[in-house]
Each structure stands twice: as structure tokens, then as C-alpha cells.
Amino acid sequence: MKSPKSFYAPLAIGAPQPYRDRPVALERMIHFVPPHIEKMRAKVPDLIDKVDVVLGNLEDAIPADAKIDARKGFIQLAADNDFKDTGLWTRVNCLNSPWFLDDILQIVPAVGDKLDVIMLPKVEGAWDIHYLDQLLAQLEAQAGLTKPIMIHAILETAEGVKNVEEIAAASPRMHGMSLGPADLAASRGMKTTRVGGGHPDYAVLSDEDGAAGRTAYQQDLWHYTVGKMVDACLSYGLKPFYGPFGDFSDSDACQSQFRNAFLMGCLGAWSLHPSQIDIAKTVFSPDPGEVAFAKKILDAMPDGTGAVMIDGKMQDDATWKQAKVIVDLARLVASKDKAMGDIYGL
Ligand SMILES: CC(=O)SCCNC(=O)CCNC(=O)[C@H](O)C(C)(C)COP(=O)(O)OP(=O)(O)OC[C@H]1O[C@@H](n2cnc3c(N)ncnc32)[C@H](O)[C@@H]1OP(=O)(O)O
Ligand SMILES: CC(=O)C(=O)O
Ligand SMILES: [Mg+2]
């Protein structure tokens, strides 16, 4: 375990100072673009105005024979566009793949000054983060970059879930984590074929109730992992995210899965298809009714202490803190999304 002094020291001479306070950014959806497809790259200028983060995906879903074109396509889309206050991320190939090293060696010098976050797949433990952390510091120093590129880990192996706290604590370069339900299901030997969401057979049966029969109540397969990820992230000041939802035809189930994650503490999810952008925008912008009620709590308890009754409900220091989470998020949403700001009255 490093001492606090060396934890925050740059890992290469000339590398930018690691963040002590991570940058504040609205990241309700991380929108995946396959950058080897010219038609998809052409959609990026329009996406920049619609999403909070544009991510060029280089890993799974990119065919092996298109990996190099995807990397080139990402560098091109990064260079060609002004991302304004929209985040620019990439998901690189995993550490043991034949492509990872060239992904990093080529992307950082070419467009590292525009890149906010590198998403690292299949992170198993702190050692994976340490390796990328050191490599990035060397390349940042060589390229003369002035701000550190952050690392976002995908939690998608049983070993990664086991080591989630060490991963969160590994570096001040850590941005956050996303649940990777597809690879995680495979790694755990789960008997599913889906990308996120529930399963009709993962259910609890109600007790026998005579003529009424029994009802099966479907449970959330991801509750345990999301809870574990949220606690690890929030303990270290990182941001937790739900990952992808693969059934584009089921917007209700997507919305429900995203909302469970939001209520449990996640700040965003992935959008893989344009139809999922507005779902994520709706879910990860706090509900206007909740914001109005939270504002009432803050107004009724200006210094955040004591106990008051609002609409028949007891409020005290702890509900004041919950209200502050909601109002702070609403203000962040309003700072980027004027339409939501008007709805919130912020
Ligand atoms: C488990 C994991 O690792 S999840 C992460 C990896 N997976 C991904 O990144 C997948 C990203 N998404 C995609 O590649 C695509 O959505 C696909 C290939 C799955 C489906 O694409 P399509 O068959 O073109 O879908 P569809 O016909 O519904 O698309 C409708 C329109 O949206 C566009 N579109 C689809 N996906 C995207 C996207 N991610 N970003 C921008 N535009 C998109 C299509 O190009 C099409 O545009 P058009 O009307 O101008 O022709
Ligand atoms: C998100 C991802 O990569 C997975 O579910 O495997
Ligand atoms: Mg995966």
C-alpha cells in the first residue's frame, strides 16, 4: 500500500499531477460508437449535442479483422470533432489481447489531449490498474499532456468482483466502474444468454395460497454486484455505472434496469443504440417531483440539522443529506441540459 504522499505523485517525470478531486461531469449515458464504420463516425457531430459521453469502442463487438480500422477510426473521429462539454472516452482492448499495447501507444500521442477517460475491460485486480497507470504517465509525459487521462474499469469477471475494493483504491487516476453483465455472466458460469437485465426463471415463489395459487416474483440478477460496486466506488470517491442492456426492443425493461441502478447509486449507463439515449437521459436525471420535494427539505433546514415535518414525513440531518444528493445532481443536469433545468426551476 502506497503512502498518501506517493499515492498522489506523478508516476513519470513530466507527467501531469494526478487529480486529488476528480473533475465534475454529467455522464448519464456513455454512448458506444463502433469507429471502424464510416457511417457511424459521420453521426458523431450530431451525437455530441445529444449525449453526455461519446465512446469509441475498440473491444468486444469489433470484429478481429476490423480492430486496426476501429483504432484509426477512433483517432480520426477524436481529431475531427470539437466535443465541447461532452466527454470523449474509448474502450480499449483487454490487457492480454494482441491489440491493447498499440491502442494505448497510438491513441495517447495522437489525441490524448482530447481524451477524458480510457475504459479498461476485464479488470481483475489492482495490478491491472497499476500497469495502465504507469504506462499512461510515461506516455503523457512524452506527449507533454497537461491533464491526466482517467481510467474506468469494467467489472466483468468473478475475480474482478472479488477484488472490487482494491481496484477502486488502486490509483487517483480511477474515474469509476461499470457493470459488465455479459462477460460477468460467462465468467461466473451463470446460465444465461443475455446482455444485462433480468431472467424470468430467477424468481421467488409466493407461499401456497389455496385457490389463488402461487405467484413468481422475478428478482434482479445484478442487485448484489451493483450494491458491491456502488459501495466500493463511493468509498473511494469514484462513480458507479450500470453497463449495457442488450435487448433494444424492450425499452421498458431497459428503463427498469437502469432505474434500479440509479436508485442504488449509479450515475449513468451505456447506450448502445440511439433508442437508449433518451431512456438513460430520463432515468439518470432525477425525477422533477423528487427534486421539488428535496428542495423543500433543504429550504426547511437551512443548516441541515434538527427535525421538521414536511407533508407528514419526518426530516432530519440524514434526509437533508439525501435531499442534497438529489438537488446537487439536478443542478449538474441543469448546467448542461437547459430543458431539464427549466423543469426543475433551477
Ligand atoms: C457486452 C458489450 O460489450 S456491450 C458493448 C459492445 N457493443 C456495442 O458497442 C454495440 C453498439 N451498437 C451497434 O454497433 C449497433 O447498434 C448494432 C450493430 C448492434 C445495430 O445496428 P443497426 O443494425 O444499424 O441498428 P438499427 O438498424 O436499429 O439502427 C438504426 C439507426 O441507428 C444507427 N445506430 C445504431 N447503433 C448506433 C450507435 N451505437 N450509435 C449511433 N448510431 C447508431 C444506425 O446506423 C441506423 O442509422 P440510419 O437510420 O442512419 O441507417
Ligand atoms: C459490458 C460488457 O463488456 C459486458 O457485459 O461484457
Ligand atoms: Mg465485456
Q: What is the mean pLDDT of residues 271-296?
A: 98
Say yes or no to pLDDT of 264 above 90. Answer: yes
Residues touching ligand 1 (Cβ under 6 Å) are 32-34, 39-40, 43, 57, 60-61, 182, 195, 244, 272-274
pLDDT on residue 343: 96
Q: What's the CA dihedral at 198, 200, 201, 202 to 10 degrees?
A: 30
Give me the helices (H) in 220-316, please.
223-235, 251-263, 275-284, 288-300
ipTM of the complex: 0.99
> How does residue 142 score in pLDDT terms, banded at 50, 70 and 90?
very high
Q: Which atom of ligand 1 is nearest to the CA of 244?
A: 4
> For ligand 2, atom 1, which residue shows the shortest CA distance?
180
Q: What is the mean pLDDT of residues 213-230?
A: 96
Amino acid letter, 18: P
CB 74 within 8 A of CB 68: no
pLDDT per residue as tens digits for the range 95-111: 999 999 999 999 999 99
pLDDT on residue 211: 82
Say yes or no to pLDDT of 213 above 90. Answer: no
pLDDT per residue as tens digits for the range 17-58: 999 999 999 999 999 999 999 999 999 999 999 999 999 999
Cell 458506444: give the residue.
32
Q: Is the pTM of this model over 0.95?
A: yes
pLDDT per residue as tens digits for the range 286-310: 999 999 999 999 999 999 999 999 9
- N-to-C CA span, the chain: 43
Say yes or no to pLDDT of 120 above 90. Answer: yes
Cα dihedral across residues 93, 174, 114, 30: positive or negative: positive
CA pair distance 180, 176, nearest whole angstrom:
13
The SS3 call for residue 271 is strand
Share of the chain above pLDDT 90, in %: 97
> For ligand 1, atom 17, which residue shows the shortest CA distance?
273
- Average the pLDDT over each of 149-158, 208-217, 286-295, 334-343 and give the range with the smallest value: 208-217
CA pair distance 340, 337, nearest whole angstrom:
6
Set of cell numbers at residue 337: 441540459
CA pair distance 108, 88, nearest whole angstrom:
13
User: 265 to each of 220, 224, 261, 326, how far by Cα in Å?
Assistant: 15, 13, 6, 11
Q: What is the mean pLDDT of residues 118-136?
A: 98
pLDDT on residue 209: 81
Say yes or no to pLDDT of 183 above 90. Answer: yes
Reference 58, options 116, 113, 121, 125; nearest CA is 121
CB 269 within 8 A of CB 259: no
Closest ligand (CA of 178): 2
Say yes or no to pLDDT of 259 above 90. Answer: yes
How many angstroms does the Cα of residue 243 sit away from the middle of ligand 2? 7
pLDDT on residue 208: 86
Cell 437502469: give the residue.
258
The SS3 call for residue 85 is coil
User: How is 111-169 classified by DSSP, letter by letter?
Assistant: HTTT--EEEE-S--SHHHHHHHHHHHHHHHHHHT-SSPPEEEEEE-SHHHHHTHHHHHT
Q: What is the mean pLDDT of residues 193-215?
A: 92
CATH 3.20.20.60 fits 4-284, yes or no: yes
Extents of the domains making up the chain: 4-284, 290-344
The conformation of residue 59, written as its DSSP 8-state character, comes to S
β partners of residue 53 = 30, 87
Residues near ligand 3 ion, CB 5 Å cutoff: 156, 180, 183
The SS3 call for residue 171 is coil
Say yes or no to pLDDT of 210 above 90. Answer: no
CA pair distance 25, 48, nearest whole angstrom:
15
For residue 174, the number of C-alpha atoms closer than 13 Å in the C-beta half-sphere is 32
CA pair distance 310, 8, nearest whole angstrom:
44
Set of cell numbers at residue 103: 491502442
Say yes or no to pLDDT of 241 above 90. Answer: yes
Average pLDDT score over the chain: 97
> For ligand 1, atom 10, which residue shows the shortest CA distance?
272
The conformation of residue 23, written as its DSSP 8-state character, comes to P
pLDDT on residue 1: 78
CA pair distance 270, 285, nearest whole angstrom:
15
Bridge-based pairing of strands 117-120 and 150-155 is parallel
